[in-house]
Structure 1
Amino acid sequence: MVVDDEEADRKMLTQILERERWSVIQAEDGVVALEQVAKHRPDLILLDLMMPRMNGYQFVTELHKHDDWRSIPIIVVTAKDMSTEERIALDGYVEKVLPKHALTQDSLLGEIQDLIAACVHAKQAAQNKPVV
């Protein structure tokens, strides 16, 4: 899922992901994103922070109120220069924060592939957990 109020950014991120044969759901703000998550639980969320109606911080807070949605990985993709306090506020809720100005197709796909590999590894480790 791509959540961004800027249509051009939403389209660009969607095109990158669709070229890799991923299905992409789009939302223009946190309110629409929550509605979409309720209909079609995504495997990953790319999230902008500065949006109208419900910003990225509010979206993350609302998402984590639902037990079924807490495990959805979130990558923040933002043009905002984040303060230390803002980064701390997201710690534990998002997997990564990527600056839009430095984002390339290869860097985005690399981050997503690393995240998928980490999730698969964690799942395999949990399945191979020894019984005591």
Structure 2
Amino acid sequence: MIYDLSRAERQHRAIQNEKPGPTHEPKRCACGKNVTARQLAQHGKCEHYRLTAGLAEGDLDKLRHMLGATAHHPHMKWGFRNHYLCNVQDREAMERLVAAGLAVRGEMMLRTQYYHATRVGCRAAGLDRSGIARALGAVL
């Protein structure tokens, strides 16, 4: 006797035997951010990690403050300013930002120094294109 499966039974068995499709696992940099596989293959780390590798813990916060890119400002207004009047305590942090290419020195005022973020510094602080245009337009 030949056992013939009905069409519904064949479909049911086919579904049971299917393997799940490949799952897409996002690639993560050493700093924890999601990055593209191409960027990881080329550089081994994300651009943000590469830019901020030589900075101390609070340096990036000072850069964000310089650009007005803090949590109490709306994201769409980030970059509305691009200056930081440095006091004596913050001078080392600002010099680290200058050495990393994220900021440049501005004019002196009395015995304090103004600093301004560069285009690379704006990207490291998380500004989008319009924010970078606002920030760099404020300096130029």
Task: Assess same fold via TM > 0.5.
Answer: no
After TM superposition, the score normalised by the length of structure 1 is: 0.26
Q: Which has the larger radius of gyration?
A: 2
After TM superposition, the score normalised by the length of structure 2 is: 0.25
